Amino acid sequence: MTKALLHDLEWRGLIAQTTDRQALENEMEAGPISFYVGFDPTAPSLHIGNLAVICTMRRFQLAGHKPIPLVGGATGLVGDPSGRNEERSLNDESVVVDWVNRIRTQLEKFLSFEGKSAAKMANNLDWTAPISALTFLRDIGKHFSVNQMLSKDSVSARLEGGGISYTEFSYQVLQALDFLELFRLHHCTLQMGGSDQWGNIVAGLDLIRKVEGGSGHALTIPLITKSDGTKFGKTAGGSVWLDAEMTSPYAFFQFWIGVDDADVEKLLKVFSFKSHEEIDVLLESLATNPGAREAHRALARELTALVHGDHQASQAEAAAKALFGQGELAELDESTLESALSQLPRTQIKKSDPIPTWVDLLTATGVVDSKSAARRIVKEGGAYLNNEKISGEDFVPEISHSIYNRFFILRKGKRDLAAVELI
């Protein structure tokens, strides 16, 4: 089972570094192990950059191992220097506490907390807060060589720039303490994380060896990048969040639909729980009939269901189809329709005012740059209101035509959409 798991991770491109692959394999073969991944509350929500390691945790648990998702109530107050060129802004403790609770709730959706492989939630504030500064320096700090700490990539990169504060410099000591405490409490012998965490994870292994005479393992996951080398998970509007209020299920679904063809194979392997054979079939479809976007849809459907649930995934997919005339707009729930329309060019009109013509409305949304262009669309047969074709240039919608007494959906041709909200 262990060999199959590690082989699967390799096939999916999910192993960047390990300390001793054979030793890890032997321990996992001998029986279930406890492993942990840390998540710092640097925002109110996790984002899809975190999703690769979350999915990897899930794969380990499905193979019988015991995950410990750790939310950094302590390290979140300090800030990790990894991948940054300047100091983080320190958040108020009340803000960090709120974000810890939000992230714990998110993580609970991806793992099982029952059965033989039950996950255990952890917060490093539980063991960090009671330690005095003197105790921390005497019992933990004495085991760290400043020379070694300075050689860590995340630290050396900052020293070449504007420098680093003692606060962020101490981050790797705090993370190492986490590994030590989880080793003591739960005999946790594996820490996983992004490849930028390698130095911090190894520091934890060194601390376990020096303090407890024990040993453990490190496994890192490559940072996911797009085919052009840029960071994955960013859009023009910023990060793609796992919180439905920060990135709606519809926008989340559409993000995966819109990924570049060149990235689909990597993303399917990293994020999908489909078998190798199922993924190969989808990739064959992508190669032979890319216009159908079957692989994109399968990826979007699976991940939206994973993050937001089956109902939201179905609604998001139905909204995507309905907006382009392949389904009934009136069958969408109002919140899904509203979130879908929020992604479109739009304008507002008052219900108390006379409703303009379709031509005027389309022009007001900015989809076309002139009324003459909008009239030409009508003449050419490419004008639609709520998926119904408009045949006259002077057509004026009525409030009774609106969906939920709120929205007109305008379409130009097959693909260009706009929304009008009645207020």
Q: Do 124 and 72 meet the contact criterion of CB atoms below 8 Å apart? A: yes
Q: Is the dihedral of CA 187, 139, 195, 42 positive or negative?
A: positive
pLDDT of residue 328: 84
Burial class (CB in 10 A: 0-12, 13-18, 19+), 234: middle
pLDDT of residue 89: 79
Nearest to 74 by CA among 30, 161, 136: 136
Helix-then-strand count for the chain, H and E:
19, 13
Please count the other Cβ atoms lying within 10 Å of the Cβ belonging to residue 207: 24
pLDDT of residue 166: 87
Long-range CB contacts for residues 96-102, cutoff 8 Å, separation at least 24: 96/41, 97/73, 98/44, 99/41, 99/42, 99/43, 99/44, 100/41, 100/71, 100/72, 100/73, 100/76, 100/125, 102/41, 102/44, 102/45, 102/243
pLDDT surpassing 80 at residue 409: yes
pLDDT surpassing 90 at residue 342: no
Average pLDDT over every residue of 131-146: 94
Q: Are strands 188-194 and 34-39 parallel, antiparallel or unpaired?
A: parallel
pLDDT surpassing 70 at residue 279: yes
pLDDT surpassing 90 at residue 295: yes
Cα atoms in the Cβ-side hemisphere of radius 13 Å centred on 83? 9
* Spans of all domains in the chain: 2-221, 234-324, 346-422
Dist. CA 319–CA 387, nearest whole Å: 13
Dist. CA 26–CA 22, nearest whole Å: 6
pLDDT of residue 262: 94
pLDDT surpassing 90 at residue 168: no
pLDDT of residue 83: 59
- Name which residue leads in pLDDT, 154 or 134: 134
Structure tokens at 271: 């994020």
Only one residue has tokens 């940054």, namely 84
Name the β-bridge partners of 39. 71
pLDDT surpassing 90 at residue 332: no
Average pLDDT over every residue of 244-261: 93
Q: Do 75 and 175 meet the contact criterion of CB atoms below 8 Å apart? A: yes
What H or E segment, with its residue span, contains residue 25?
helix 21-30
Dist. CA 49–CA 334, nearest whole Å: 29
pLDDT of residue 236: 61
pLDDT surpassing 90 at residue 324: no
Burial class (CB in 10 A: 0-12, 13-18, 19+), 94: exposed
pLDDT of residue 109: 96
Dist. CA 345–CA 419, nearest whole Å: 6
Q: What is the pLDDT of residues 83-109, one digit of tens each?
A: 566 777 788 999 999 999 999 999 999
- Name which residue leads in pLDDT, 421 or 331: 421
2-221 and 234-324 share one fold: no
pLDDT of residue 1: 62
Q: What CATH number does the domain located at 346-422 have?
A: 3.10.290.10
pLDDT of residue 81: 79
Dist. CA 57–CA 63, nearest whole Å: 10
Q: Using N-to-C axis directions, what is the helix angle for 294-308 and 310-323, rounded to 10°? A: 140
Q: Do 155 and 81 meet the contact criterion of CB atoms below 8 Å apart? A: yes
Q: How far apart are the first and last CA of the chain?
A: 59
Determine the longest span between alpha carbons in the chain, in angstroms: 83
pLDDT surpassing 80 at residue 194: yes
Cβ burial 155-192 (10 Å sphere, 16+ → b, else e): beebeeeeebeeebbbbbbbbbbbbbbbbeeeebbbbb
pLDDT of residue 87: 73
- The mean pLDDT of the chain is 92
- Name which residue leads in pLDDT, 201 or 235: 201
Reduced to 3 states, what is the DSSP secondary structure of residue 399?
helix
Q: What CATH number does the domain located at 2-221 have?
A: 3.40.50.620
pLDDT of residue 327: 80
pLDDT surpassing 80 at residue 251: yes
Domain 234-324 has CATH 3.40.50.10330: no
Average pLDDT over every residue of 260-289: 97
